[in-house]
Chains A and B, each alone.
Chain A
Amino acid sequence: MSERTIIPFGPQHPVLPEPIHLDLVVEDEKVVEAIPSIGFIHRGLERLVEKKDYVDYVYVAERICGICSFIHGLTYCMAIEELMKVQVPDRAQYLRIIWSELSRIHSHLLWLGLTADSFGFESMFMQSWRLREYILDIIEETTGGRVIFGSAKIGGVRRDITPAKMDEIMKKLDAYRKDVSQLCEQFMKDQTVKHRMRGIGMLSKEDAITTGAVGPMLRGSGIAQDIRMTGYCGYDKIGFTPIIETAGDCYARCMVRVREMDASFGMIRQCVNQMTDGPIEVKVTGNPTGEFFMRSEQPRGEAIYYAKANGTKFLSRLRVRTPTFANIPPLLTTLAGCQLADVPVIVLTIDPCISCAER
């Protein structure tokens, strides 16, 4: 047996924009075990709910993550709406889906660029981030913000999109959809990409369940689980089936995200076609009481917001379980047995967001 060595990976590493540390136990170039370490920047935002009015906490929830900020704010709002039995108007639900899916597209484009960059595919990185800018421009046009949308509120949304603006946006999105599709095709058909990703970082269907994988990590192992199927926020009104791949390797996880982007463009189109005029919010009065586990499908997977309220304007508990936090144990499974050079690629196929995990 070769001598075992521990190689530290992170928290500062060229492929990691955020701090996560892995102790990689290696024999020669083969990783036999990985031990994770997070907690470098834990912010304690969950505890802040005891001091912030439940209405104002939406702004804090949105700041848990800079990529899926809207869906964080939305999930928090939906948890409170469940507690207060608030029925959100249809138009607001469609607008929520549109901004959620725009978030998913720009998150996956960001991931695509970072993943390509992790093995030196620089032109792909530049092209995907160029397209992401267009999506961010649309988000800015419709919400006023590129990172923090500030559009979700308890009882609905803060802003509407006029029919003229919607037509203009859809023309742009139809063009971007073709560009994104072309870019993804180039990425997925590239021989180097296939060589670096096929058969690497394997996660079997059984392991995906026992390690608690979520999102594209779970669906890339052949399990058709997508929380949007529960129909929250009106997803039950639009045609949608979870996108799955069965290989369980890095390539399969990439393919899931690539196909999800195209599905998101389709969902936005369906929302625009089905939307009718109407109110975008309902007035919410009183204080919440009770408890509820609200789940949503973020770009990285299932997020869980557990809200426990006691009838005052301050919640007694808010628990946020983010997808990256759930995907750390499956990451360790995929790393065991891989080559040291494959570690950055495998880490990026879980699309880690440590900002979320360190909420």
Chain B
Amino acid sequence: MTQTQTIIDIQPGELLGKVSEMKAASQRLSQICCSKLPDHLEVCYSFDKDYVFTTYRLSMPDNALPVPSISKIYGNSFHYENEIHDLYGIIVEGISIDFKGNFYRTALKTPFNCAPEAEVKA
């Protein structure tokens, strides 16, 4: 393995505290992404400093639970948060620039988190 990285599972209530710690440590927000697994969704928040890559991962049973926005801590999170909202339907509360579902112009609503039959229909 050439690149050092750590993935840490956290609870939704810990998110803002952990992200604030990363900001205080001058870590750069590298990316936010979501993954749909058979029985739950995962949201990963990745940070980097001096080539050390750290990811905090939230696991959620479905997309009904709102996730707090980290855009007040990291201003550049707004487009990642709009992306996971538009592609997966995750509700992110308090995004600094909220496109309200118009960040991506897709034929299908939440295309990365929809039933296969809806995909075929579209």
Interface centre among B44, B51, B79, B112 (most CB of A within 10 A): B79
A230 touches B2 (CB 8 A): yes
Q: Nearest Cβ in chain B — how far from A213, in angstroms?
A: 8
B76 touches A330 (CB 8 A): yes
A82 touches B1 (CB 8 A): yes
Given contacts A308-B35, A321-B31, contact A42 B106 (CB under 8 A): yes
A6 close to chain B: CB less than 8 A: no
A27 close to chain B: CB less than 8 A: no
B69 close to chain A: CB less than 8 A: no
CA of A291 to CA of B5 in the docked complex: distance in angstroms?
11
Q: Which of B12-20, B58-66, B97-105 contacts A (4 or more CB under 8 A)?
A: B97-105
Mark each residue of chain B from 12 to 36: 1 if its CB lies under 8 Å from any CB of chain A, else 0: 0000000000010010111101011
Mark each residue of chain A from 150 to 175: 1 if its CB lies under 8 Å from any CB of chain B, else 0: 00000000000000000000000000
Task: List chain A residues, Cβ under 8 A from B75.
Answer: 210-211, 329
Q: Which residue from chain B places its CB closest to the CB of A82 in the assembled complex?
A: B1
User: What is the number of residues of chain B that contact chain A, defined by CB distance less than 8 Å?
Assistant: 35
Q: Nearest Cβ in chain A — how far from B7, in angstroms?
A: 7
B35 touches A212 (CB 8 A): no
A295 close to chain B: CB less than 8 A: yes
Q: Which of A33-41, A59-67, A254-262, A270-278 contacts B (4 or more CB under 8 A)?
A: A33-41
Task: List chain A residues, Cβ under 8 A from B104.
Answer: 38-39, 42
Give the contacting residue for A212; candidates B2, B29, B44, B51; CB below 8 A.
Answer: B29
B111 touches A44 (CB 8 A): yes
Q: Nearest Cβ in chain A — how far from B86, in angstroms?
A: 8
A316 touches B28 (CB 8 A): no
CA of A94 to CA of B37 in the docked complex: distance in angstroms?
37
A binding-site residues for B, Cβ under 8 Å: 35-40, 42, 44, 46-47, 82, 209-212, 225, 227, 229-232, 236, 291-295, 302, 304, 306, 308, 316-317, 319, 321, 325-326, 328-330
B binding-site residues for A, Cβ under 8 Å: 1-3, 5, 7, 23, 26, 28-31, 33, 35-37, 44, 46, 51, 53, 55, 74-76, 78-79, 86, 97, 99, 102-106, 111-112
